[in-house]
Amino acid sequence: MMPSNLLQIAAPELILAIGALALLVLGAFRGNRSTLLVSILAGLVLIGAAAAAAVAPLGPIFRGGFVSDEVSRFSKVAIYLMSSVALLLGERWLNRLRAGQFEYPVLILLAALGMGMMVSAGDLISLYIGVELQSLALYVLTAFRRDDGKASEAALKYFVLGALSSGILLYGASLIYGFAGSTRFVDIAHAVHTTAAPVVLIGLVFLACGLAFKVSAAPFHMWTPDVYEGAPTPVVAFIAAAPKLAAMVLFARALLEGFPDAIDQWRQVIMTIALISMAVGALAGLVQKNLKRLLAYSSILNIGYALMALSTGTQLGLQAMLVFMVLYMIDSTGAFATLAALSRDGKPMETVGDFAGLSQERPTLAIVLTVLSLSLLGLPPLSGFWGKFYVFKAALAAGQWQIAVFGLVASVPAAFYYLRIIKTMWFDAPAGRTDTPAPDAQAVAVAAGLWSLPLVLVGLAFLDPLAALAARAFGLS
């Protein structure tokens, strides 16, 4: 491949890498006085990377280690744009707490770079590099408020469990490499096509377990509630959105490109993880009083739905997963933006009780959180309903009616904790006077609420065909 084509295909990652390094040098010379400037420039870098990803040529580079196709193009645009929203939320939120530092936008850029590599991974080496680059940035972001004991504890748990999951992932990758004699997904698929030795299946299980940790699927979810509760709210909004999409696309690419002929084997693993995730997410959320922990279990539940779509191994299933993840990202970001916008006496409002009577004092945010809660529940015609509609449609088309029924049943107990939030906001007595909402976070929350209804009805007309085009890249039936 000509060097010019190589640079064009890798342009989004080059923009992010060069931008992150340049902004790091700028911040090092100017100190925290440059935080606002670095944040603005980082936002421009992300938008530039998204534009470059949208027009990048298609094809493999670096001997197939890095792949540009419709799936990566679709995912990168969504990931980079959502990362820019995290920049907007975090810069002002941290400044209000006098914790703003120029490293925050640089870490967002590095995490976005890792996610871009994840969705374009064509072999086990680039898979691991992308995962670790993203993860290391997220570990630091979780502990960004160094004087906060909860944040430090959450980051330590995240790091330790993340290291364990990386070891599991690497062990599985080594077994697969030992059998196939190559790290490239194409070569692995060819080796598995002739015979799937037990060692390959064992390696596949370890690989799937390592990736399941990255999407916070049960039973590999232990880090999720603590990180969601302890990390700064804008960081949680970021962790709950873009990295989940990147990890799910990587999950799909590793399984569908590396093991297309072993689908009957890995489908059982993915279906089991999906069932456990839906059960844990639905039931454990019932006893949560902290709203961030509650949303953590909500994310585990929703990842179960995404894995349900992936387990079909069909083009329709991959399309459903992409649509579902994009819609979930917006709803989740809006919910955390609402939390970032609200405080009382300078302290963040995080427990369900803190939102008592919110409708009487902040009706706009109460309406937004109501809409987003109902959307996460899957109430029609909100965006969450359409995401689940696509997932259930794909599962039924693949003949997996049992897991579809289980997913439908799992949404019933989950409805209780979403409705409890709504009841607290609209029917309980006010818990006290809230501070003036942060305008930037409130704008993001309102935008997410408007997307959930009615803009989603128009947006699906564009999102659905783009997801269908992306799903065709794997050549599935």
Q: Is position 162 within any domain?
A: no
Assess whether pLDDT exceeds 70 at residue 3: no
End-to-end CA distance of the chain: 30
> Looking at the domain assignment, is residue 373 inside a domain?
yes
Q: Which neighbouring-strand residues pair with 343?
A: 348
384 part of a folded domain: yes
Average pLDDT of the residues in 269-293: 92
Rounded to two decimals, the pTM is: 0.95
For residue 414, pLDDT beyond 80? yes
pLDDT tens-digit map of 239-274: 999 999 999 999 999 999 988 888 888 898 999 999
Paired tokens of 216: 């916070």
The confidence score (pLDDT) of residue 239 equals 93
* Nearest residue to 214 (alpha-carbon basis) of 171, 168, 283: 168
Find the range with the poorest average confidence among 90-94, 149-153, 214-218, 363-367.
Answer: 90-94
- Mean of the pLDDT values across residues 198-225? 89
Query: Rounded mean pLDDT of 282-305?
Result: 92
Pairing of strands 343-344, 66-68: unpaired
- Tell me the pLDDT tens digit for each residue of 420-458: 999 999 988 887 788 888 888 899 999 999 999 889 989
User: CB atoms < 10 A from the CB of 461, how many?
Assistant: 9
Rounded mean pLDDT, 24-32: 87
Domain-embedded: residue 58: no
pLDDT of residue 196: 65
pLDDT digits (tens, 9 = 90+) for 125-170: 999 999 999 999 999 999 888 778 888 889 999 999 999 999 999 9
Q: At what angle do helices 70-96 and 315-341 cross, to 10 degrees?
A: 10
* Nearest 10 degrees: Cα torsion 14, 15, 18, 19: -160
Kindly state whether residue 117 falls inside one of the protein's structural domains: no
| Whole-number pLDDT of residue 332 | 94
Instruction: Count CB atoms within 10 A of the CB of residue 267.
Output: 17
Please enumerate in sequence order all residues whose Cβ is within 8 A of that of 233, keeping only pairs 6 or more positions apart, or say none.
Answer: 89, 93, 292, 336, 339, 340, 348
Q: Tell me the percentage of the chain whose pLDDT exceeds 90.
A: 60
Burial 57-89 (b: 16+ CB within 10 A, else e): eeebbeebbbbbbbbbbbbbbbbbebbbbbbbb
Q: What is the mean pLDDT of residues 296-325?
A: 94
Query: Are the beta carbons of 66 and 126 closer than 8 angstroms?
Result: yes
Do the domain assignments include residue 1?
Answer: no
What residues contact 457, with CB distance under 8 A and at least 6 apart? Answer: 381
Average confidence (pLDDT) over 398-409:
91
Residue 387 has pLDDT above 60, yes or no: yes
pLDDT of 194 reads 66
**Mean pLDDT within 107-122:** 94
Contact 245, 329 (CB under 8 A): yes
Query: Is 410 inside a domain boundary?
Result: yes
- Write down the pLDDT at residue 432: 76
In the predicted structure, residue 1 carries a pLDDT above the cut 60: no
DSSP state of 195: -
| Residue 327: predicted pLDDT | 95
- Left, alpha or beta for 133 (phi > 0: left; psi -120 to 50: alpha)? alpha
Looking at residue 179, its pLDDT comes to 87
337 in Cβ contact with 444 (< 8 Å): yes
Q: Quickly count: other Cβ atoms within 10 Å of residue 2's Cβ.
A: 7
Mean pLDDT of 294-315: 94
> Is 60 in contact with 66 (CB distance < 8 Å)?
yes
pLDDT at 472 over 60: yes
- What mean pLDDT comes out for the span 86-99? 80
**What digits encode the pLDDT tens for the residues 186-208?**
999 888 876 667 888 889 989 99
pLDDT, tens digit, 9 for 90 and up, residues 319-365: 999 999 999 999 999 999 999 998 888 788 888 888 988 888 899 99
Distance CA 391, CA 317 (A): 7
Domain enclosing residue 399, as ranges = 275-477
pLDDT for 29-69, tens place per residue? Answer: 887 788 889 999 999 999 999 999 999 888 888 888 899 99
pLDDT at residue 351, rounded to an integer: 87
Number of domains forming the structure of the chain: 1
Identify the residue with better confidence: 348 or 21. 21
Please give the average per-residue pLDDT across 390-409, as a whole number. Answer: 92
- Greatest alpha-carbon pair distance for the chain in Å reads 68
> Which residue from 472, 122, 185, 120 is spatially nearest to 314, judged by alpha carbons?
472
Name 327's Cβ contacts closer than 8 Å, sequence gap at least 6.
383, 384, 386, 387, 456, 463
346 found inside a domain: yes
